[in-house]
Structure 1
Amino acid sequence: MPETRSSQWYSGRDRNAYIHRAWMRRGLPDSAFEGRPQIAIANTASDLTPCNSHLDEVAEHVKQGVWAAGGVPLNLPVVSLGETQLRPTAMLWRNMAAMATEEMLRANPIDGVVLLGGCDKTIPALLMAAASVDLPAVVVPGGPMLTGTFRGTPLGCGTDVWRLSEEVRAGTLSEAAFLESESSMIRSRGHCNTMGTASTMALLAEALGAVLPGTAGIPAPDSRLLTRSHQTGRLIVEMVGAGRRPSSVLRPESFHNAIVALAAIGGSTNAVVHLLAIAGRLGVPLTLADFDRIGADVPLLVDLQPAGRYLMEDLHRAGGLAAVLREVVDLLDPDAIDVTGRPFVESLADARIWDPDVIRTRDNPVRSKAGIAVLHGNLAPSGAIIKPAAASAHLLRHRGRAVVFDSVEDLHARIDSPDLDVDADSVLVLRGCGPRGYPGMPEVANMPLPTRLLRQGVRDMVRICDGRMSGTAYGTVVLHVSPEAAAGGPLDRLRTGDWVVLDVPNRQVSVDVPREEFDLRPPSPALVAALARPGRGWEKLYVDTVLGAEVGADLAFLVGGSGDRVSRESH
């Protein structure tokens, strides 16, 4: 094995080497400092990130694998982001978590890293960090929870929260029954069991080649996850010896495969901003257009909530990601490699579908074309996206009057007002919710429908927003509208009563107002008054430097990477 990076700290007989070794001994053998790879376990376990609370156990099995392969494992707790707990939104801190992890990986005497994540933003943040520091790195996804049931019916966490809460508002479910279901929703450790953002990013990390093949999607309580964690610990030591870094694994062909996978599994729209941000750290020229170009005609093969019926535990028993991608192997780039150093497509060769109701065959898809659609028009000059697989087919071409809300607070105050001039054909528009505006791009694009329309049987309407929506959500929702209203995007000039046209087949979203009139309109004063204006701290740094959703909503000064070299040595 070539000289390790950590030997810059530990080798030698001078005072600095003495200090580095002495403070780290604490029971370690002398051989720990004699060229053995030092492996950090970037661990997002936290009691305040409930989906990741079991990762300490996963870390122990990674450690055993590292020891078995001749390395030295080192637990490194890193910033953890709990999707359900953080206010205003975990997305506000994704870039901070990535920056802090990157700096800790660079600053410490380590040669490689195992990345433990699960909840929505943790895997993206860890991959962004690893890409920027470019030390050998591999992800262990924490896995989805087991399926809970309520009154004999399986519950999809997130998706059924939205569904059941709307039924309460519609008067078809009692509040008491709704609250009774709460204790059934989360059956075990692990992240959401729907095809939400957590499941999507775990599977896409494997499709990118950043996960030991066959690991993503194993349920969190399944002992096979611990076996894979041990194997990953052994693998990272081998990766250090081979010099296999993110820059050599995560190439354009890897992102091509991730986009194919995103469509085939019916994955979360949040994957778009995360993949763009990861690519930006690597210098891979990924754009919004690539999602449409590569993914638009890919069939949806996984019948999972929110686009279908089943849940993640079902996907795993039906054959998992490998079985899905084997059906579309001709659409994958065969030149992509994974963390083992072998072509990614080789890992699919023995995959089989064990339940064709959960994973459909290519000739019997859930939908024949299911990729993320990228829209443009005078409401979204830099682009917007929609997930057709989660939308209502009859609304994919629609013309309706805009009902505009200037903030989340404005939405909550007026959505159920008896004075709100709204009908089933209206287009609900929520603005000021982009990366800069709220800040942090909250998951509010899937706006609740007016109660009086719910009681009339309406269950979907066209909704447009410069924010995001939960990966567990569904509906005909145009989101990530760019430029956002806070950055002077056209949404800031839209008015209630304007006619809005959505034409997904032709990739258009526009307002039917003469350009000369529209361009001369001033921004909405209520919108401007509601925009975030932090005076200090991370929020100010974020608002001052965040880029648009169309390029991944990273901070301008974090795009790219600085490698693993420390700028100054300690003295």
Structure 2
Amino acid sequence: MRKRPEDLRSHRWFGVETMRSANHRSRLLQLGFGPQEFRGRPVIGVINTWSDLMHCHGHFRERAQDVKRGVWAAGGFPVEIPAMALPEVFQKPSTMLYRNFLAMETEEIARSLPLDGLVLMGGCDKTGPALIMGAISMGLPAIYVPAGPMLSGNWRGRKLGSGSDVWKYYSELRAGTITQGDWNEMEAGLSRSAGTCMTAGTASTMALAAEALGLTLPGAASIPAVDSAHPRMAAAAGARIVEMVWEDLTITRLLDQRSLDNAVAATMAFGGSTNAIPHLIAIARRAGIAMDLERFDAISARVPLIANLRPNGDRYLMEDFFYAGGSRAFLNVLAPHLALDATTVNGTLGAQLQGAEVFDADVIRALDNPLHPNGGVVVLRGSLAPDGAVIKQSAASAEKLSHTGPAVVFEDYNDLDARLDDPALDVTPDSVLVLKNAGPVGGPGFPEWGMLPIPKKLLAQGVRDMVRVSDARMSGTSYGTCVLHVAPEAALGGPLALVRDGDMIRLDVSARKLDLLVEEAELAARRAAWTPRKPVQARGWTGLYQAHVNQADNGCDMDFLERGTEAVEEPEIH
């Protein structure tokens, strides 16, 4: 049933004849708006995560205007509201520390202000999940506008991909195969426009997940940030949210088990970032939907990897993906593995995909010609990870997926930084590099330290991959045989905290196992002697985070925010 103007949430602020409402209207008049512009119109909050340090969102000042143009054209009243930017690279120790902060800010912005619907402007890795999480908890109609990937990098005629080629060529710099001048020249060609990483990293993974969830317009996930299709999409999203408000199409009506499974299937077939796992678990649980590591593993086992993009493939980037047909074509190929009757912001998922074509079958592979027969990520369990760990098998070395070797242990990142390149370090190509105290509590904030660098003396021998185990995350642009998200983390006394140099660790990806081969009696003695570290920072948001964050296998949401969308009393109008 279509809403009436008096049914709008904002009507309580602007539409009634009381002293309070008159005061609200007078303040809009003060801002230069006439009553015909805001009375009886849906008020749309355009939540913008732009900042001078948000490199991925450098175009968002203009895109916000495009969104507002669409809102005005559809008969709405747009109000742009800044929210905390979470710029990867710049923000220390990790943007993941602030994902839940932005989620809470989004929820409170929406609850406290006279908004009827939300346009969520995000893209850089944690902004999208955070905005979606906050919008779910508030429950208003919402649509997501992803930032879009940047243009492909270029260096001496070679394509460069964010992250993936940084790690690759920095290893070559450390090994002495390229010069510092080569490296500095490469820096200038790596990031050539506004937009998110152009590899199949976390940003594009989560944009694709949002489209599969039904929260974007068709094809929005893959449009490059500086392509003219991007402002057109932004304006169309602004127009669509106005209609969603009149239709009362809230975000909670869009999300169910089908849409969450669609998002998981899409991320696995994309070879997407391991970061999608805690993000999607957190999103699901905000909506009151069951989601755990086993569901990811089961879906990954049944879908093939069909996106031939770095860091899984070695040739193509997101610009190529867009030209090959983009997210609509990708999802259409994957359609046999999706619930096409799931609801989206623009009809059913199946309706969104009708007519989508693949224009380059090497970039977006057919189901019978995949890059890998299974999805990119595998969930591991065992004595070293009783609550789970993950590995991106599609970006690992095949010969390392079954490996047993002695541990070389680093107690934290500072220890790693100090000793990794020490010529006296007792390490061989068969060693297993272990990093502790890099999880949600220990990091703090679950930083992307999981792609541990190869020791310099091994690089000089030609070694380019080793088994690495940590309770950290890694960038979606990273690669290598890296076991991540080990839970419980070392800072909480999980088995990882007990590992010592020389302990044998066994990885068996086909068996989904990660084991510490130490006798239980010895482990019991170590456990009895273990004492927790003093928190890195125990005040402010970080202190609150460390006291209340859930573990990786539970999505790393705050324990006081992770719940379904039970009714929250609306604020009084004063």
User: Do they superpose with TM above 0.5?
Assistant: yes
Q: Which residue of 2 aligns with 1:6?
A: 10
Does structure 1 conserve the Cα–Cα contact (< 8 Å) formed by 2:136 and 2:286?
yes
Q: How does 1:222-261 map to 2 (within 5 A)?
A: 222-261=227-266
Does structure 2 conserve the Cα–Cα contact (< 8 Å) formed by 1:432 and 1:466?
yes
Q: Which residue of 2 aligns with 1:18?
A: 22
Structure 1 residue 468 and structure 2 residue 445: aligned? no
Against the structure 1 CA distance between its residues 561 and 32, is the aligned structure 2 distance closer, same or farther, given a 3 Å change threshold?
farther
Q: Which residue of 2 aligns with 1:152?
A: 157
CA–CA separation in structure 1 for the residues paired with 2:490 and 2:472: 10
Q: Which residue of 1 aligns with 2:329?
A: 323
TM-score (norm 1): 0.97
Q: Which residue of 2 aligns with 1:335?
A: 341
CA shift for structure 1 position 561: 5.3
Deviations, residues 306-345 of structure 1 (Å, cap 9, x unaligned):
11121000000001112122222111113311111x2212
Structure 1 residue 209 and structure 2 residue 214: aligned? yes
CA shift for structure 1 position 567: 4.2
Unaligned runs of 5+ in 2: none
Does structure 1 conserve the Cα–Cα contact (< 8 Å) formed by 2:112 and 2:571?
no
Does structure 2 conserve the Cα–Cα contact (< 8 Å) formed by 1:79 and 1:101?
no
Give the letter for the 2:271 counterpart.
Answer: G
Pairs aligned (count): 568
Counting aligned pairs with the same residue, the percent is 48
CA–CA separation in structure 2 for the residues paired with 1:170 and 1:335: 52
CA–CA separation in structure 1 for the residues paired with 2:567 and 2:12: 12
TM-score (norm 2): 0.97
Q: Which residue of 2 aligns with 1:313?
A: 319
CA shift for structure 1 position 297: 2.9
Q: How does 1:555-566 map to 2 (within 5 A)?
A: 555-560=558-563, 566=569
CA shift for structure 1 position 524: 8.0
Give the letter for the 1:252 counterpart.
Answer: Q
Q: Which residue of 2 aligns with 1:540?
A: 543
Does structure 2 conserve the Cα–Cα contact (< 8 Å) formed by 1:51 and 1:191?
yes
CA shift for structure 1 position 523: 7.4
Give the letter for the 1:471 counterpart.
Answer: G
Q: Which residue of 2 aligns with 1:404?
A: 409
Structure 1 vs Structure 2 CA RMSD: 1.4
CA–CA separation in structure 1 for the residues paired with 2:528 and 2:89: 33
Does structure 2 conserve the Cα–Cα contact (< 8 Å) formed by 1:301 and 1:361?
yes
Q: Which residue of 1 aligns with 2:557?
A: 554
CA shift for structure 1 position 84: 1.3
Deviations, residues 188-208 of structure 1 (Å, cap 9, x unaligned):
111111111111111111011
Q: How does 1:473-492 map to 2 (within 5 A)?
A: 473-492=478-497
Q: Which residue of 1 aligns with 2:372?
A: 367
CA–CA separation in structure 1 for the residues paired with 2:153 and 2:135: 34
Q: Which residue of 2 aligns with 1:182?
A: 187
Give the letter for the 2:388 counterpart.
Answer: G
CA–CA separation in structure 1 for the residues paired with 2:111 and 2:473: 32
Give the letter for the 1:542 counterpart.
Answer: Y
SS of 1:382 mapped into structure 2: strand
CA–CA separation in structure 2 for the residues paired with 1:524 and 1:63: 60
Structure 1 residue 519 and structure 2 residue 548: aligned? no
Q: Which residue of 1 aligns with 2:353?
A: 348
SS of 2:260 mapped into structure 1: helix
CA–CA separation in structure 1 for the residues paired with 2:567 and 2:86: 25
CA–CA separation in structure 2 for the residues paired with 1:524 and 1:497: 19
CA–CA separation in structure 2 for the residues paired with 1:565 and 1:412: 47
Q: How does 1:417-436 map to 2 (within 5 A)?
A: 417-436=422-441
Moved over 6 A (4+): none
Does structure 2 conserve the Cα–Cα contact (< 8 Å) formed by 1:493 and 1:524?
no
Does structure 1 conserve the Cα–Cα contact (< 8 Å) formed by 2:286 and 2:565?
no
Q: Which residue of 2 aligns with 1:569?
A: 572
CA–CA separation in structure 2 for the residues paired with 1:30 and 1:278: 38
Does structure 2 conserve the Cα–Cα contact (< 8 Å) formed by 1:115 and 1:126?
yes
Does structure 2 conserve the Cα–Cα contact (< 8 Å) formed by 1:297 and 1:371?
no
